């Protein structure tokens, strides 16, 4: 993702009812995504290259060691409402997990308690709810903490340090 892509991703956020409930505007979304682009994490996009304007289908922001200074964290994932159920979110999630798993097998994210469709989506992709943060971001809303442990690919130079247990 480049700075030129920020307005389209910010518009996706500002025009989605979930983020509007949190008071997100195009301006605040652009500022948050610009900070993400300049920060230690990574932003990935799904685009439709078959159209002239390179339509953005969705994006994901992921941060290595962004959870508890140890594990991968996905602060944001967004998909155009017209693309829901078409594999865009799954592809973005897989891309984020692959990038994060280069550093840690654990991935965390939060989901609003009222966003039951997202909860089912993450559960289908191997995430389990491990906690809850009542009134954390918005009064009256509980942010549910989801966690997934992925395996790390063990290369020959890491085989002696990773994946072996005493007596195994």
What single string gives the DSSP state of each residue in 53-104? T-EEEEEEEEEEEEETTTEEEEEEEEE-GGGTTTTHHHHHHHHHHHHHTTT-
Closest CA to 73 of 89, 60, 62: 62
Domain spanning 3-152: which superfamily? Gcn5-related N-acetyltransferase (GNAT) (3.40.630.30)
> Stretch 89-105: mean pLDDT, rounded?
94
Residue with tokens 């990574």: 42
What pLDDT is recorded for position 152? 57
Q: Are strands 71-79 and 55-67 parallel, antiparallel or unpaired?
A: antiparallel
Q: Are strands 71-79 and 106-112 parallel, antiparallel or unpaired?
A: parallel
What pLDDT is recorded for position 34? 95
User: Rounded CA gap, 139 and 147, in Å?
Assistant: 23
Two tokens, residue 101: 């798993």
pTM of the model: 0.85
What pLDDT is recorded for position 55? 87
User: Rounded CA gap, 56 and 109, in Å?
Assistant: 22
Residue 109 pairs in a beta bridge with: 74, 146
> Stretch 86-108: mean pLDDT, rounded?
94
Which run of H or E residues covers position 147? Answer: strand 142-149
Residue with tokens 């592809």: 91
Min mean pLDDT across 6-10, 48-52, 129-133 is at 48-52
């Amino acid at each position: 993702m480049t700075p030129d892509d920020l307005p389209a991703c910010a518009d996706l956020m500002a025009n989605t009812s979930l983020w509007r409930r949190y008071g997100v505007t195009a301006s605040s979304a652009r500022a948050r995504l610009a900070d993400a682009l300049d920060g230690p994490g990574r932003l990935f996009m799904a685009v439709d290259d078959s159209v002239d304007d390179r339509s953005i289908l969705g994006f994901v922001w992921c941060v290595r060691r962004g959870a508890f200074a140890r594990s991968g964290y996905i602060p944001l994932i967004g998909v155009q409402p017209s693309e829901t159920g078409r594999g865009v979110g799954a592809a973005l999630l897989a891309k984020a997990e692959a990038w994060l798993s280069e550093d840690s097998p654990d991935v965390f994210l939060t989901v609003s308690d009222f966003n039951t469709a997202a909860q089912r989506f993450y559960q289908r992709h191997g995430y389990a709810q491990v906690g809850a943060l009542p009134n954390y971001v918005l009064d009256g809303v509980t942010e549910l903490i989801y966690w997934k442990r992925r395996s790390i690919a063990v290369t020959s130079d890491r085989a002696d340090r990773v994946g072996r247990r005493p007596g195994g």
